Amino acid sequence: MLRTIILKAGSNASIPSLSRQNKLLRFFATAGAVSRTSPGSIKKIFDDNSYWRNINGQDANNSKISQYLFKKNKTGLFKNPYLTSPDGLRKFSQVSLQQAQELLDKMRNDFSESGKLTYIMNLDRLSDTLCRVIDLCEFIRSTHPDDAFVRAAQDCHEQMFEFMNVLNTDVSLCNMLKSVLNNPEVSSKLSAEELKVGKILLDDFEKSGIYMNPDVREKFIQLSQEISLVGQEFINHTDYPGSNSVKIPCKDLDNSKVSTFLLKQLNKDVKGQNYKVPTFGYAAYALLKSCENEMVRKKLWTALHSCSDKQVKRLSHLIKLRAILANLMHKTSYAEYQLEGKMAKNPKDVQDFILTLMNNTIEKTANELKFIAELKAKDLKKPLTTNTDEILKLVRPWDRDYYTGKYFQLNPSNSPSAKEISYYFTLGNVIQGLSDLFQQIYGIRLEPAITDEGETWSPDVRRLNVISEEEGIIGIIYCDLFERNGKTSNPAHFTVCCSRQIYPSETDFSTIQVGENPDGTYFQLPVISLVCNFSPILIASKKSLCFLQLSEVETLFHEMGHAMHSMLGRTHMQNISGTRCATDFVELPSILMEHFAKDIRILTKIGKHYGTGETIQADMLQRFMKSTNFLQNCETYSQAKMAMLDQSFHDEKIISDIDNFDVVENYQALERRLKVLVDDQSNWCGRFGHLFGYGATYYSYLFDRTIASKIWYALFEDDPYSRKNGDKFKKHLLKWGGLKDPWKCIADVLECPMLEKGGSDAMEFIAQSHKS
């Protein structure tokens, strides 16, 4: 199968020093100058917007010297000359399709020994040609501010996706691949990477029902295409509540000890009998925190977490389509179909893993919620209880914010506020801190670069070159981190272009960016985009800063973990480079970075007050983190509930009773069975966007979280800046992309041979280890 994956596809010009004493990257890597930037330059391009506008040529008043030093060429998105307009995107798609067809024709007609020896490499090249369009379009659909570009991306994505699905069911391609792999005279001359990619592609061909009759193959293509379209429609509407407002009787709110200032900001209906509380903005959330009337909180919470009936129908349609596809492939469930080739090899092992986590966590979760139960029981004039089931039965999701606030009112904390802490963590401070961390543990740094005209989709986008101290530039990160209308609301790492070696007969480098290996050969630079929605705050006339709360620092570290995997997982073939690995392995490097983001030693090195430059005190951080981490087990259990919901929506009962399956009824029944913060009122499942991108594999987050915890304690707990252990993690895990079996990677990092083969015992070991 010619694969494309997204995580839920010239020359480089970089910032020159004022002395113009620049070091040019060799060959393709530049047509502009690159220099070591001065200390603090990363911080400045994110924290000083006037500096950024000036060096990036956006300031109409900048000096002639500056205009000369930072002269910009015209290009398209990501330095692809086609991508200057929506029509250019369509042209790029058509050219890529033509190149793919020409390569396909050559492969089908070349039966020579040379043709067989290069067959897998050509399959990889065919995949790269298509993926660079599909991944690009996936990114544009989610992020580009121009609707015309978004429409063009949707059209091109559909066209390419359909072409790829046709190839995935092409019997002649599969037969040729099988003959190459089964012929010792040929396979003995192939590299380990070629054999690995060949095996992966053969497995994916067979997963597409390659040997079924033509009608079945055609049905597979149709279903895959429809799942893609319905899924995209589903994901596009997960942010929207079911209604714009919820009516609350005035008498209920007026007698609920809610601030009169807040009530005055609410509109009323025509008769003046009901407040119309909007389901967007701060008002509803403020009421959840302050309203003593449980029925009002329940109504508000349900409205905030519900979606439209139309969205529920989209989800139901998506789930049923997947069940039909699985049944077509002779599988008992979509989960069984989807888990082939994953670390967790079957649904039973996944569900056992989740249940083990839940069993290990539920008592701790109930203990965390006990303070809410005590306060609520007192309000209801009920006797206090220490029984786990009684605690969980009493505490509902609409109680959490209200009673947490009440608890802290009754038990004032001397911990600093989130706002006070954020003043030490400007976006520039955090990016600079990440670069310093990567320099120490991996020997790589982030270096700001001037973008050419047309290279980015917004003037707020910053380009960072990833520089290895041994190899020079090894990749490119486009940072789209500031809030903007029309962007995806979810933080994301988009693979735009994978790393791979330059193919032997490749001569056109106009649409890619190229780096040089130490041995003088060349490779396609990995190009990724990090997308977040951080909010700048005006602190002075014409000056704004982006202050990150610690949760946002953690988010940025997480996404940078994906980025480092993309940069360092540099294989010869794109099918297994970077984050192109098993779904239940891909979150591991990013979740490991969350441990760094919570480490006091890291945070005190990064945190500098925006006004005074003072370093944040460890005691200040510890007090704040203690006050915000008191529901950690509750969060883990909630993630486990979502993972179990994902499994429930993709198990065998869907196929056996497809006409009667009700997604909301199933969701609410599962909530009641799992007990913690039970939601049997909303249809929140229709807003669970990961059901599309992570269908039957959402457990991956929890699974990788438990593994990341073990790796952190083994390698970095004693010294988070350890170069020795950073090199160990890079050598045994990051550098392999999807080439090496993930269980083997983990076994090598942890020096735990019993994990090498995976299986039920390994899954149980990982689940049990979460208790630590």
Q: Do 645 and 725 sit in the same domain of this protein?
A: yes
Provide the residue range defining the domain that includes 142: 79-236
N- to C-terminal Cα distance for the chain? 40
Complete edge-to-edge strand list for the sheet that includes strand 472-482: 444-449, 462-468, 472-482, 527-534, 492-497
Q: Do 93 and 194 sit in the same domain of this protein?
A: yes
In terms of C-beta density within 10 A (0-12 exposed, 13-18 middle, 19 or more buried), how is residue 517 classed?
A: middle
Compute the mean pLDDT over every residue in the chain, rounded to the nearest whole number.
90
- CATH number, domain of 183, equals 1.20.1050.40
Q: Do 361 and 381 sit in the same domain of this protein?
A: yes
Domain boundary residue, one of 236, 269, 287: 236
Q: Do 182 and 299 sit in the same domain of this protein?
A: no
Please check the confidence at residue 628 and state whether its pLDDT lies above 90.
Answer: no
SS3 445: strand
Q: Do 266 and 343 sit in the same domain of this protein?
A: no
Least confident of 274-288, 560-574, 639-653, 705-719: 274-288
d(CA 226, CA 655): 18
Alpha carbon 313 to chain centroid distance?
26
Q: Do 91 and 202 sit in the same domain of this protein?
A: yes
| pLDDT value, residue 3 | 40
Confidence of residue 572 (pLDDT cuts 50, 70, 90): very high
Annotated binding-site residue? 609 = no
Confidence of residue 770 (pLDDT cuts 50, 70, 90): low
Domain assignment present for residue 560? The answer is no
Domain assignment present for residue 39? The answer is no
Q: Tens digit of pLDDT for each residue in 258-302? A: 988 999 999 999 999 999 999 988 899 999 999 999 999 999 999
Q: Do 95 and 225 sit in the same domain of this protein?
A: yes
d(CA 144, CA 458): 8
Strands (DSSP E) contained in 489-536 are 492-497, 500-501, 514-516, 522-524, 527-534
Domain assignment present for residue 655? The answer is yes
SS3 335: helix
d(CA 14, CA 35): 7
What are the residues whose beta carbons fall under 8 Å from the beta carbon of 194, sequence distance 6 or more? 120, 121, 573
| pLDDT value, residue 769 | 64
d(CA 676, CA 393): 8
Q: Tens digit of pLDDT for each residue in 534-545? A: 999 998 877 899
| pLDDT value, residue 161 | 87
Annotated binding-site residue? 565 = yes
Residue 680 is given by DSSP the state -
For range 696-714, the mean pLDDT: 95
Domain boundary residue, one of 203, 218, 236: 236
Structure tokens at 709: 């915890």
Q: Tens digit of pLDDT for each residue in 173-206? A: 999 999 999 999 999 999 999 999 999 999 988 8
Q: Do 114 and 197 sit in the same domain of this protein?
A: yes
| pLDDT value, residue 71 | 59
Task: Point out the residues that are catalytic.
Answer: 559
- Spell out the SS3 assignment of 406-427: HHHHHCCCCCCCHHHHHCCCEH
| pLDDT value, residue 217 | 86
d(CA 371, CA 667): 27
C-alpha dist (Å) from residue 537 to 43, 157, 547, 575: 16, 37, 8, 42
pTM to 2 decimal places? 0.88
For range 57-69, the mean pLDDT: 51
C-alpha dist (Å) from residue 107 to 104, 193, 205: 5, 20, 17
Annotated binding-site residue? 770 = no
Please check the confidence at residue 647 and state whether its pLDDT lies above 60.
Answer: yes
SS3 476: strand
Please check the confidence at residue 646 and state whether its pLDDT lies above 60.
Answer: yes
User: If you count them, how many residues does the chain have?
Assistant: 772
Number of domains in the chain: 3
Q: Tens digit of pLDDT for each residue in 474-504? A: 999 999 999 998 787 789 999 999 999 999 9
Q: Tens digit of pLDDT for each residue in 374-433? A: 999 999 999 888 899 999 999 999 999 999 999 988 988 788 999 999 999 999 999 999
Q: Tens digit of pLDDT for each residue in 90-115? A: 999 999 999 999 999 999 999 999 99
Please give the backbone phi and psi of residue 465, each rounded to the nearest 5 degrees, phi first: -85, 140
* Among candidate residues 582, 579, 580, 626, the one with its CA nearest the CA of residue 600: 626
Alpha carbon 723 to chain centroid distance?
27
For range 143-155, the mean pLDDT: 96
Domain assignment present for residue 567? The answer is no
Q: Do 371 and 267 sit in the same domain of this protein?
A: no
Domain assignment present for residue 64? The answer is no
**No. of helices (H) and no. of strands (E), the chain:** 34, 13
Domain assignment present for residue 679? The answer is yes
Structure tokens at 694: 């992570």
Domain boundary residue, one of 304, 322, 344: 304
Confidence of residue 49 (pLDDT cuts 50, 70, 90): confident
Q: Do 83 and 207 sit in the same domain of this protein?
A: yes
Q: Tens digit of pLDDT for each residue in 1-42? A: 444 332 333 323 222 222 222 222 323 333 333 334 455 689
d(CA 381, CA 275): 29
Domain assignment present for residue 185? The answer is yes
Q: Do 151 and 280 sit in the same domain of this protein?
A: no
Domain assignment present for residue 163? The answer is yes
Percentage above 70 pLDDT, the chain: 92
Confidence of residue 65 (pLDDT cuts 50, 70, 90): very low
Q: Do 90 and 208 sit in the same domain of this protein?
A: yes
Please check the confidence at residue 64 and state whether its pLDDT lies above 80.
Answer: no
| pLDDT value, residue 7 | 31
| pLDDT value, residue 35 | 38
d(CA 373, CA 383): 10
d(CA 646, CA 697): 7
